[in-house]
Chains A and B, each alone.
Chain A
Amino acid sequence: MEPLFALLIGVLVGTGVFLLLSRTIIRVVLGLAFIAYGVNLAILTVAGLRPDAPPLLTLKGPYVDPLPQALVLTAIVIGFATTALLLTVALRAYQVAGHDDVEAFGDSLARDPDSPDGLHADASHLGPDEPTEAPTSTRRAPRRPA
């Protein structure tokens, strides 16, 4: 049964990635939810899927591995919290930007490469191997002791 679920997980994760790359913000949130579905199933699947009893001690053993189930239970709740937060952020982004197109949110950090960043060497600052006319350039200014 594991290979079947491996394929299903692939489908879920692939769909999630496809949605994640969409332009509509809701679909981006849905994409993350799909990736979460896939990953939850993956955690259980890699522990091995055996037709044993659920880990309830009232039943007769042998039992399936309880640890991945505990992990996934946590993951489901956290996933829900993440979805809720993202959804609110999406709503807020829409309220601020006036549209729900993530490509046009204008959060591009790309800086004008020619804008001064204060790091450039001062090309007009002449080192001493440049002959200067006036002895009063900044470089030559004497340090006057107090």
Chain B
Amino acid sequence: MGLMTAAVALPFLMAALCAALAGRLGRATGVLAALAFVPALLLASRTGGETLSETTRWVPDLGLNLVFRGDGFSLMFAVLIGVIGTLASLYSVTYLSDRERFGRFYPYLLAFGGSMLGLVLSDNLAALFAFWEMTSVTSFLLIGLWHTRSSARDGAVKAFLISALGGVALLAAVAMLGLAGGSAQLSQLDLDAVRASPLFVPALLLTVLAAATKSAQLPFHLWLPTAMEAPTPVSAFLHSATMVKAGVLLVAKFGLIFSVSPLWSGLLVPLGLATMVWGAWLALRQNDLKALLAYSTVSQLGLLVSLYGVADAEGRFAATTHLLNHAAFKAALFFVVGIIDHETGTRDVRRLSGLRRALPVTFVVAVLAALSMAGLPPLGGFLSKELFYETMWHQGPLFLAVAVAGGALTFAYSARLLRVFTGELSAPKVPHEAGAGLTVPAALLAGAALLMGLWPALTETLTRTAQEALAFASYGGHIRWWHGVTPALLGTLVTWALGAALVWQAPAAQRLQERLTPRWNANLSYVLILTLLNTLASRVTARTQGLALPDQLRLSLGASALIGGYAVWQAPQVLPRLGTVPLEALPVAALLVAGAVGVALSRNRLTAVVLTGLTGFGSAVSFLLMRAPDLALTQLLVETVTVILFLLVFRFLPGVRDLPRTRGRLGLDLLLSAAAAAGATLLVMASLRFLAPPISPYYLLNSYKEGGGKNVVNVILVDFRGFDTLGEITVVAVVALAVGALVRLGRPGQAPPEVDAEQLAAPAPRRKP
């Protein structure tokens, strides 16, 4: 097993192990869980080298193989998942409450980790989709971890519904790509064929939809903030650093296929920028620190989508740099918010201030991470923001202006986040600095954010690991502090000025925001759509199911008639010739038809039963005609018992009653009966041709030799197919028990009435061979 396969498989195995051991290990399960990411971390040693490839055969005939392809970008992403996964596992060891069900939390977390690693490494399109869906499912489980809270349930359902919508779109998209490109593997698609195919544009649109739902782009951003119901380590891992970037990953990887179309960047760049600005605007309005970070994540994802959506070397280079920076500072900030929540018991920005003295380490971490988010030197965020502005300037001044607006809002909400540390100390309970279990993971990430700023060459090396995979080898730009006086630098200065103004005039900005609050928002429309769907589903169910028996049957029979009718229409009909009809067949036919017509017309129950008996005896005579004396005998006996049974039951039923159908229903019923009659006739006629030689000569030859009987039918029943007969007898016995129980039920505490269970249960008369 190769290292990549191990990196994907180990988290799943460890998930099972954690589930088994959690009862004994308690919170220490998290340390075990962190070990699951070791192979992913080891992948770091393979970056920069040749593209790795590992194949596990599964269903080769269907093109279903687990193919992992470790190009630079995938490996970089996998290592990122490994790092954040390890830190989140370790952080949660201290963070979670003692009452937490560790046997659920860690398996879910590891299953997610494995799915996410599979998603980034998978080269097979079907596996890519499967891992994509698995991340949705595990995310659902993690958001709903505290399922006793209705908000957690709502958040989980909302996240799942929206990502499932994207999942369906992705399934269609990869199916189209596989069809058009002639391969089940992403790296082996025939790009020219895909681009020439009529499926190109639909696949493109579906991919955009999938990416937008997963990466919380407008108008699907609504699921991410409610996903913050998950425990904070989960938010840091899934909903900021990794899973929400699956959509970004899709844009990055599939951009190589779709970027030839102007539609691709024409859709993604405005979408990303709009999400960036709107997310930042909403983030500035939040009082819950975690909600603020959630909207900030929406905004930053918009930035990444717009950069990858530009789909040139420059954009991909800038996006990859920012992707790394964002993972570092955003996960660090989530950890910081977790610490604040843990130590003060609230995340409300209005109830917290002056935490810098009580939480000095956390304060330093928060400042570093927030400054990186705001794009200030000397942090990594500054460098990637410069690259972002540069790229947007090349798209046009308007794009730069929007980007700057988003940047200024980002600056402002970063400052708002830091407000909890300034001023006089105020918190619901006296905070103490958290233990090393919480601060060290946060500090490591903040340190990474700082290092990426102080050492641009390192950042560039990291970014360039992805260059082959994302085809920005041609991009000659470098990450530097000083590029000269460029539009990007001017943009940065304007950002700082605007951001500082927003911070300075914070109350005024807040009033403005409240005045501009739209009456309508995405969340309301989500609730509306869901309510409408539920109502529609209930109505359809009420109309089509659970009707009174005849109506339900009419519906089913009507559907069968339509489907069967279509089949008959399509099938070539062979009408066999009448052949010779022996004279004795005619009275039999008359008997059968007379019984049938008589029953249909009879108004009287007794008449109906007697006429049914007529048909029964008619069919017994038919059996004789068909050279089946055993059947004729059995049918005669059964018919007799049945008629007696009916007459017994009539003792308890009401007198003669006429329950006519309405005229419309009568017509419909006649139509359905005619259709059934025609269908049965046509089916019999069509079945007259043999498709294979009959197997019955075997029974004729061996009946006496092996069964010791000369009546072949009886030998088949009691010898060759003896077990079938045993089953049949069992059915009869079960029916006897059921009949007995039903009859007893009618008169509780009394002797069974005259309908005698033993009589009903009398085994069918059968001649022995």
A74-96 interface mask toward B, CB cutoff 8 Å, 1 = contact, 0 = none?
10111111111101111110110
| B197 close to chain A: CB less than 8 A | no
A130 near B669 with CB under 8 A, answer no
Q: Which residue of A lies closest to B717 (CB)?
A: A70
Please give the number of chain B residues whose Cβ is less than 8 angstroms from any Cβ of chain A in the complex: 151
Residues in A neighbouring B535, C-beta threshold 8 A: 113-114
CA distance A87 to B739 in the complex (A): 9
Residues on B with C-beta less than 8 A from A7 are 681
Contacts of B582 in A (CB 8 A): 1, 51
CA distance A131 to B517 in the complex (A): 9
Give complex CA distance A5, B688 in Å: 12
Within 722-736 of B, Cβ neighbours of A (below 8 Å) are at 724-725, 728, 731-732, 735
| Contact yes or no, B659 A142, CB < 8 A | no
CB-defined A-B contacts under 8 Å, sample of 30: A3-B577, A6-B681, A10-B684, A18-B673, A21-B661, A23-B550, A33-B642, A46-B687, A61-B700, A69-B631, A73-B717, A77-B728, A81-B732, A83-B645, A84-B642, A88-B649, A88-B738, A92-B742, A107-B549, A113-B535, A120-B534, A128-B228, A129-B295, A129-B523, A135-B346, A135-B351, A139-B151, A142-B341, A143-B146, A144-B345
State A146–B342 Cα separation when bound (angstroms). Answer: 10
The answer to whether A128 and B286 touch across the interface, beta carbons within 8 angstroms, is yes
A91, B653: Cβ atoms closer than 8 Å = yes
Residues of A within 8 A of B605 (CB): 24, 26
Name the contact of A84 in the complex, choosing from B580, B589, B760 (C-beta under 8 A).
B760
B600 at the interface (CB under 8 A from A): yes
- A17: chain B residues at CB < 8 Å are 557, 669, 672-673, 676-677
**9 smallest beta-carbon distances between A and B, as pairs:** A109-B546, A14-B677, A113-B538, A128-B291, A10-B681, A57-B710, A110-B542, A10-B677, A77-B764
Q: Known contacts being A10-B680, A85-B739, A102-B549, is A74 close to B288, with CB within 8 Å? A: no
Q: Are B542 and A19 in contact (CB under 8 A)?
A: no
B472 within 8 A of A: no
In angstroms, Cα B252 to Cα A82, docked, is 63
Query: Does B638 lie within 8 Å of A24, measured CB to CB?
Result: no
Residues of A close to B350: CB separation below 8 A: 135
Chain A residues with Cβ under 8 A from B158's Cβ? 121
B596 contacts partner chain A, Cβ-Cβ < 8 Å = yes
The listed residue with most A CB atoms (<10 A of its CB), out of B99, B579, B608, B681, is B681
Q: Determine which of B294, B553, B721, B746 lies in contact with A21 in the assembled complex, contact meaning CB atoms within 8 Å.
A: B553
* Nearest chain B CB to A19 CB, angstrom units: 7
Known: A30-B608, A81-B735, A128-B295. A74 touches B589 (CB 8 A): no
Partner of A48, one of B548, B615, B688: B688
List 19 additional A-B contacts (Cβ < 8 Å) besides A73-B766, A88-B738.
Answer: A1-B582, A4-B581, A13-B679, A23-B661, A26-B608, A26-B646, A44-B623, A46-B687, A56-B712, A66-B699, A77-B764, A81-B732, A85-B735, A88-B742, A95-B652, A103-B550, A123-B531, A129-B521, A140-B287
CB neighbours of A142 from chain B (8 A)? 341, 345-348, 428
Tell yes or no: B17 within 8 A of A by CB. no
Question: Is the pair B553, A70 in contact by a Cβ cutoff of 8 Å?
Answer: no
